[in-house]
């Protein structure tokens, strides 16, 4: 087969796959602000707290533009295949064209979701906009409750809980992300899109002809980043929990989120709790959980009624309304698995 014609066919497959309408990943549509990037490193100096409205008493109090030194470098990603010319001649079913299509499709929405979720899973060791880890017991800007709820350890937006339901010694994790579809609102996760997918090949060059090998590559430049820490809370559970444990964890998460306070720009600004008037639902909250907690979380959040028991243990007393019903969307992710 003529190499130039074969390469044209692969390039066409790339373009067709690139323009195909893929189902966007839930994490991207709900919890991520996509940032158009125009530099190798993006800076976010605007992530300082704005001044609050207050009564005008004859003299204005101007807020400052605090120096937020949050910089996120873009990274290069690619996927490529090496094809011998004789293999191209022997390909009678167009198999290599499907490979390019799959590489292109995978480098779009699925790749973006994996990149964001992988970054989220490592949020306990990656710095956020305020110079502290995105998940941490303390933060340099904003404030949290002075202590975690009873029965919980940690603090800030990073709680721990030990279940007595089992003694398997494993750890399980879930994260509550607060978001809104309102324009201009920064969601808890960011995705910098520096360079869209492109198709590159050395097919037809003297070097490829001498080696009898042709290389086909799809590549892009981008990077995941974090929004504001007070829109996220992580709970790490030791020992496999019961449904009651999950209910307790959801209640603790809401307590902590209700108490997160925005940083103050002007000294006379009144304290403002970020989520104090929120009624939790799928439109403003999403739970990202590890694969092991997924079924329990579905039970806790997707069932409208839950069974109640009375002594002796195991005696069914009937059903009651589940106050956590539809309090959040659910996204399972293996990136949160710890074993």
- Across the chain, mean pLDDT equals 87
Beta carbons within 8 Å of 131's beta carbon, 6+ residues apart: 69, 70, 140
Q: Hey, which residues does 310 pair with through a beta bridge? A: 315
What is the spatial distance between Cα 289 and Cα 295, in angstroms, rounded to a whole number? 10
User: In whole angstroms, what separates CA 174 from the centre of its chain?
Assistant: 12
pLDDT tens sequence across 7-46: 666 666 666 665 665 567 889 999 999 999 999 999 988 8
Is the pLDDT at 299 greater than 50, yes or no? yes
Q: Is the pLDDT of residue 213 over 90?
A: no
Q: How confident is the model at residue 57 (pLDDT cuts 50, 70, 90)?
A: confident
* 210-224: average pLDDT: 89
Query: 15 or 150: whose pLDDT is higher?
Result: 150
Of residues 86 and 214, the one with the higher pLDDT is: 214
Structure-block tokens of residue 236: 């790490």
**Mean pLDDT, residues 106-127:** 94
Residue 250 and residue 297 in contact, taking contact as beta carbons nearer than 8 Å: no
The Cα 119–Cα 72 span in angstroms is: 12
HSE-up of residue 232 (Cα within 13 Å, Cβ side): 28
The mean-pLDDT minimum among 52-56, 172-176, 273-277 falls in 52-56
Distance CA 292, CA 269 (A): 44
Using DSSP's 3-state secondary structure scheme, residue 59 falls into: coil
Tokens 């360079």 locate to 195
Task: Quote the pTM value.
Answer: 0.87
Residue 111 and residue 117: Cα distance in Å, rounded?
Answer: 10
Class of CATH domain 3-50+65-336: alpha beta
Spans of all domains in the chain: 3-50+65-336
Average pLDDT over residues 192-199: 90
- Can you tell me whether residue 318 is helix, strand or coil? strand
CA within 13 Å, CB half, 186: 20
């Amino acid at each position: 087969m003529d190499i130039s014609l074969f390469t044209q066919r692969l390039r066409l497959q790339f373009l067709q796959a690139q323009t195909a309408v893929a189902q966007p990943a839930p994490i991207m549509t709900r919890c991520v602000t996509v940032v158009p990037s125009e530099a190798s490193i993006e800076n976010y100096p605007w992530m300082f707290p704005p001044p609050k409205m207050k009564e005008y008493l004859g003299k204005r109090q101007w807020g400052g533009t605090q120096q937020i030194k949050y910089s996120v470098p873009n990274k290069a990603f690619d996927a490529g295949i090496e094809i011998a010319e004789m293999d191209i001649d022997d390909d009678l079913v167009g198999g290599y064209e499907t490979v390019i299509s799959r590489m292109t499709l995978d480098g779009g929405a699925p790749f973006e979701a994996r990149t964001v979720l992988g970054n989220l899973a490592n949020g306990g060791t990656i710095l956020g906009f305020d110079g502290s880890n995105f998940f941490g017991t303390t933060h340099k800007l904003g404030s949290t409750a002075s202590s975690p709820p009873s029965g919980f350890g940690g603090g800030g937006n990073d709680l721990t809980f030990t279940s007595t339901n089992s003694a398997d010694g494993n750890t399980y994790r879930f994260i509550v992300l607060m978001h809104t579809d309102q324009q201009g609102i920064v969601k808890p996760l960011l995705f910098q899109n520096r360079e869209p997918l492109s198709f590159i090949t050395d097919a037809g060059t003297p070097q490829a002809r001498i080696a009898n090998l042709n290389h086909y590559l799809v590549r892009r430049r981008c990077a995941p980043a974090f929004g504001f820490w007070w829109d996220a809370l992580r709970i790490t559970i030791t020992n496999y929990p019961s449904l009651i444990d999950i209910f307790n964890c959801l209640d603790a998460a809401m307590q902590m989120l209700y108490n997160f306070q925005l940083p103050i720009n002007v000294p006379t600004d009144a304290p403002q709790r970020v989520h104090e008037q929120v009624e939790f639902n799928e439109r403003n909250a999403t739970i990202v959980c590890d694969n092991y907690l997924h079924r329990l979380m579905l039970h806790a959040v997707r069932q409208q009624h839950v069974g109640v028991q009375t002594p002796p243990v195991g005696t069914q007393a009937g059903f009651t309304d589940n106050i956590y019903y539809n309090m959040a969307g659910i996204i399972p992710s293996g990136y949160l698995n710890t074993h």
